[in-house]
Amino acid sequence: MRAEDNINVIKGVGVKVADAFSKLNIVSVKDLMLHIPKNYELYEEPSALSEEKTGYKVALRGRVLNDTWFMRKKGGMTLNKVSFLTGDCKIGLVFFNMPYIKKAVEKEDEIIVRGILSHDRFGLHINQPAVFSLEKYKEVENTLVPVYSTVKGISNNAVRKYMAEAFASVSLKDDYLNADELNELGLISFPEALRALHFPRDYEDFVKGHDRLVFHEFISFLLPVKRDREASKYSFDKPMIEVAETVRYIESLPFELTDAQKNTWNDIKNDMTSGLCMNRLVQGDVGSGKTVIAFLALLMNCVNGYQGALMAPTEVLAKQHYENVKAMAELFPDAVRPVLLIGSMSAKDKNEARKRISSGDANLIIGTNALIQASVEYKTLTLVITDEQHRFGVKQRESLADKGGNVHILVMSATPIPRTLAMIMYGDLAISVIDVLPAGRLPIKNAAVDFKYRKKAFEFILDEVKKGHQAYIICPMVEDNDNDELQNVIDYTDMLNEIMPKGTAIAFLHGKMKGSEKNAIMDRFAGGDIDILVSTTVIEVGINVPNATVMLVENADRFGLATLHQLRGRVGRGDAQSYCIFMSGKTDQKVKERLEILTKYNDGFKIADEDMKLRGPGDIFGIRQSGEFNFRFADIYNDSTVLKKCAAFTDKLLLAEYNERMQEVSAGISDYDIGHVDFRTI
C-alpha cells in the first residue's frame, strides 16, 4: 500500500465506503492519514453519582437491578428501560431502538455505563448510555479515543480501524523541517505527530502531536504573509486629495468623534494621499465606532472620483451598512452613489448592480465578501474595506489589482488580540487602534449565573420587553442532536413560546437558514417587530440594534471569552442601561472564575489576557477563541508559545542566506494539506 493509493486498497473499504469518504474529501490513503480527529473522548475513571453532574457526561459503575422492561411506542420506536444501582443511588437507563440490548444488560450484571446524566419528572436517568463490562472499561480507562468527523455510512470505529490499517503499512514523506530544526524548535516530526494524534499513547503524547500540528498551521499562514510583506510596498498611481465633504460629514454626525477615532482617521487620510497603497488595520473593541471611520474613507474616495467597496462577512451586516451609507448619500447626492450586492438578491437585481458597477455609475459598493470579489468588474476600484473577521491578503490584492490597478486596503477588526501577538499576526499591516469607547455609554451590567436562575432571567427579559426594549438569547446549537446537554435554538424557541405571555414576538436565527430568511428576521428585529431573538452566534458580528438591552447567553461556558465579549457587544449600543446574563450549568470553580472575568472587565484586550492566564493544558479540546483567526486546530491564545517560536523561525528563514531553505520549506508545507483555513481566501 502506498500513500497515493486510492483508499479502496484498505481492507473493508468498498465502493460504498469509498464514496462516503469522498464526501469528506478523502480519496487517497494519505488523505485519510491527514484526517485529524476533531476531538477526543476521555474515558474518565467511573465516579460517584452526584446531583451536580446533571447535564454532564458521567461514567458510573453499578449493578443492573432487573431485566429490561420493553415497550414499543407509536410510530414503531422501541424503548428498553432498566434500573441501575450505583453507590446507593438508583437511576434509570433508557435505550431507544435497541431491543437487542436486553441481552447485553441483564439482571445482576456489574457494568459501567457512560452517558449524559439527565434529571426530569422520571427522576435521574441516562438516555442511550454506552455499556461496558468492567474489563472492557479498564482497557479504555484514561485513554484518549479520537473522534473523527464522519458522514453517513462510516462510523467512528470504522475510521479508527481503517486508520490503523493505513498506519501499519504506509509511512508518509519526511517532514519538511529537518532533524536539527525540529530539535531546535522542540518539536516531533510531522509523521510522528500524525501517529500521536491518531493513536495517542497518553495525554503528553497527544500534546506533542498537537504542538507539531499547530506549528504547521502557523507556518502555513505566516510564511506567505511575511514573505509577501517585503514586496507589499506598492505605489499608488491615482493620487488623492483631502476633501471638504468629509469635514461636513463629521459635522453632520449626532456625536463628536473620539480622539482615537480622529487619530485613526488622520492615519487613513495620510495613507490615501501618500502615493503608496494603504495597507492598514483598524483595531477597535466592539462599539468603539469603526463604521464611521470606514464611511469617511469611502466618502473621500468617492469625492476623489473613484470606486470603493465595503465587504461585510454576512448579508445582514452588509444590509445594515448599506442603509447607513444611503443616509450619507443623501447628504452628498452627486458624489456618493451606493449599491448593494448580496447573494439573496434576485438574479435580475444582481445583474443590474453589476452593470452599475462596471459602468462606474455606482461608486460605493457594499456587499458580502465573496460576491464583491469574484463576480464583479469595476471601473476604477481604488479602496477596499473589509469589516470584521477577514484578513485581506496579497492574493486578494493581486486579484483586485488585475481588475483595477493597485488599491488601498483597510481592514477593520474587533479581535481582541494582545499587542505582541498582533505584531506577529498582522505583520504585513500598519495598525491604528481605537482604544476608547464613545463617551456617555452606560457600561453593560453583567451577571454569571447557573441554570437555577433561568426563571428569573426570563422574568427580567420580559420586564425589559414590557418597557419596549428587545432581547437576544444565544444558544450554542441549531438543532437537537444526541447531545441534550446543550440548548438549541429551535427547541428553545418552542419552549419560550409556551412560557412567555401571548403576544410576545419571538423568532429564531441561525447560520443554516437561507440568506433571505436571515435578512427578513434581522430586518424585523431591527425594526422592533421581534421582541426576543433566539440565535446562534451568527449575530456575533457587527449588528447594531441599539434598542436591544438584554442578552442571555445559554451554556456560556461553551464559548471563548473573546466570543462572549463580542456577543455582548450587541447590547449597550444605545442610551438605555443594558444587561448581559451568562448562564452555565457548570458549577465548578474554574468555569465560574472564567465567566466572572467578563463581569469584571469590559475591555476586550484585558479579557483575552486574563482568559489566557486562566487556561491550562486541559483546555486544549475545549474552548477555542473565535474571532478572526479561525485556525482549524491552533488557537493564538492557547498556543501563543508555539506561535512565537514559529514567528522567530519564519523570520530566520526569510533572511537572504536562508533563501534556498525557505523555498524548500515553502514547497514542503503543501505536502501536508490538513485543510487549514486560508484566511487570505475570502
The β-bridge relationship of strands 89-96 and 78-86 is antiparallel
CB of 416 to ligand ADP, least distance (A): 12
Nearer to ligand ADP, 313 or 542 (CB): 542
Distances (CA, A) of 354 to 326, 341, 347, 366, 604: 18, 8, 10, 12, 38
Q: Which does 341 bind (CB under 5 to 8 A by kind): ligand ADP, Mg ion, none?
A: none
Which residue, judged by CB position, is nearest to Mg ion in the bound state? Answer: 542
Q: How far apart are CA 360 and CA 354, in angstroms?
A: 10
Question: 530-569: which residues touch ligand ADP (CB under 6 A)?
Answer: 542, 544, 546
Q: Which stretch binds ligand ADP (CB under 6 A): 70-78, 283-291, 553-561, 640-648?
A: 283-291
Nearer to Mg ion, 412 or 583 (CB): 412
Question: 523-562: which residues touch Mg ion (CB under 5 A)?
Answer: 542
Q: Which stretch binds ligand ADP (CB under 6 A): 75-83, 157-165, 280-288, 501-509?
A: 280-288
Q: Which stretch binds ligand ADP (CB under 6 A): 65-73, 287-295, 579-587, 664-672?
A: 287-295
Name which position in 291, 415, 470, 626 contacts ligand ADP (CB under 6 A). Answer: 291
Question: 367-426: which residues touch ligand ADP (CB under 6 A)?
Answer: 414
Question: 240-299: which residues touch Mg ion (CB under 5 A)?
Answer: none
User: What are the strands, taking DSSP E only, across 108-175?
Assistant: 110-120, 123-127, 130-133, 144-147
Nearer to ligand ADP, 232 or 324 (CB): 324
CB of 441 to ligand ADP, least distance (A): 8
Do the Cβ atoms of 363 and 306 come closer than 8 Å? yes
Nearer to Mg ion, 68 or 288 (CB): 288
CB of 538 to Mg ion, least distance (A): 15
Q: Which does 470 bind (CB under 5 to 8 A by kind): ligand ADP, Mg ion, none?
A: none
CB of 550 to ligand ADP, least distance (A): 18
Do the Cβ atoms of 313 and 388 come closer than 8 Å? yes
Question: 231-260: which residues touch ligand ADP (CB under 6 A)?
Answer: 255, 257-258
x-marked contacts with Mg ion along 640-659 as a string, rule CB under 5 A: --------------------
Nearer to ligand ADP, 221 or 392 (CB): 392
105 Cβ contact list (under 8 Å, min separation 6)? 64, 68, 80, 82, 93, 111, 131
Q: How many CB atoms lie within 10 A of CB 222?
A: 21
CB of 438 to ligand ADP, least distance (A): 3
Which of these, 640, 679, 669, 680, lies nearest to 34 by C-alpha position? 669
Residue tagged 519526511 (cell numbers): 174
Q: How far apart are CA 131 and CA 109, in angstroms?
A: 11
Task: Map 256-317 to HEC letters.
Answer: CCCHHHHHHHHHHHHHHCCCECCEEEEEECCCCCCHHHHHHHHHHHHHCCCEEEEEECCHHH
Q: How far apart are CA 368 and CA 320, in angstroms?
A: 12
Question: 295-334: which residues touch Mg ion (CB under 5 A)?
Answer: none
Q: How many residues bind ligand ADP (CB under 6 A)?
A: 18
Q: Which stretch binds ligand ADP (CB under 6 A): 111-119, 289-297, 390-398, 604-612?
A: 289-297
Q: Which stretch binds ligand ADP (CB under 6 A): 243-251, 288-296, 624-632, 673-681?
A: 288-296
Q: Which does 286 bind (CB under 5 to 8 A by kind): Mg ion, ligand ADP, none?
A: ligand ADP
Name which position in 80, 261, 578, 638 contacts ligand ADP (CB under 6 A). Answer: 261
CB of 502 to Mg ion, least distance (A): 36
Question: Is 284 one of the binding residues for ligand ADP (CB under 6 A)?
Answer: yes
Distances (CA, A) of 399 to 134, 343, 564: 61, 21, 35
Question: 22-81: which residues touch ligand ADP (CB under 6 A)?
Answer: none
Type and span of the H or E element at 387: strand 381-387
Residue tagged 448562564 (cell numbers): 583
Name which position in 89, 292, 401, 612 contacts ligand ADP (CB under 6 A). Answer: 292
Question: Is 573 one of the binding residues for ligand ADP (CB under 6 A)?
Answer: yes
CB of 519 to Mg ion, least distance (A): 18
Which residue, judged by CB position, is nearest to ligand ADP in the bound state? Answer: 289
CB of 254 to ligand ADP, least distance (A): 8
Q: Which does 408 bind (CB under 5 to 8 A by kind): ligand ADP, Mg ion, none?
A: none
What is the distance, to the nearest Å, from the Cα of residue 610 to the centroid of all Cα atoms in its chain?
A: 20
Nearer to ligand ADP, 307 or 566 (CB): 566
Do the Cβ atoms of 583 and 541 come closer than 8 Å? no
Q: For residue 278, which amino acid is it?
A: M
Can you list the pairs that 262-269 forms with residues at least 24 positions away whose Cβ atoms lie under 8 Å? 263/432, 264/293, 264/432, 264/433, 264/434, 265/293, 265/296, 267/430, 267/432, 268/293, 268/296, 268/297, 268/410, 268/432, 269/242, 269/300
Do the Cβ atoms of 297 and 383 come closer than 8 Å? yes
Nearer to ligand ADP, 287 or 476 (CB): 287
Nearer to Mg ion, 338 or 542 (CB): 542
x-marked contacts with Mg ion along 486-525 as a string, rule CB under 5 A: ----------------------------------------
Nearer to ligand ADP, 515 or 546 (CB): 546
CB of 679 to ligand ADP, least distance (A): 20
Q: Which does 257 bind (CB under 5 to 8 A by kind): ligand ADP, Mg ion, none?
A: ligand ADP
Q: How many residues bind Mg ion (CB under 5 A)?
A: 1
CB of 437 to ligand ADP, least distance (A): 8
Q: Which does 513 bind (CB under 5 to 8 A by kind): ligand ADP, Mg ion, none?
A: none
Q: How far apart are CA 112 and CA 57, in angstroms?
A: 13
Q: How far apart are CA 249 and CA 145, in angstroms?
A: 59
Which of these, 219, 317, 236, 225, lies nearest to 275 by C-alpha position? 236
The cell for 72 is 414499543
Q: How far apart are CA 297 and CA 408, in angstroms?
A: 10
Q: What is the CA radius of gyration of the chain?
A: 28
308 Cβ contact list (under 8 Å, min separation 6)? 297, 298, 301, 302, 363, 364, 365, 381, 382, 383, 384, 385
Question: Is 572 one of the binding residues for Mg ion (CB under 5 A)?
Answer: no
What is the distance, to the nearest Å, from the Cα of residue 358 to the centroid of all Cα atoms in its chain?
A: 34
The cell for 613 is 492566564
Which of these, 387, 336, 399, 662, lies nearest to 541 by C-alpha position? 387
CA angle 635, 314, 327 (to 5 degrees): 130
Name which position in 7, 32, 277, 286 contacts ligand ADP (CB under 6 A). Answer: 286
Nearer to ligand ADP, 80 or 258 (CB): 258
Nearer to Mg ion, 212 or 321 (CB): 321
Question: 478-497: which residues touch ligand ADP (CB under 6 A)?
Answer: none
Binding residues (CB under 6 A) for ligand ADP: these are 255, 257-258, 261, 284, 286-292, 414, 438, 542, 544, 546, 573
Residues forming contacts to Mg ion in the complex (CB under 5 A) are 542
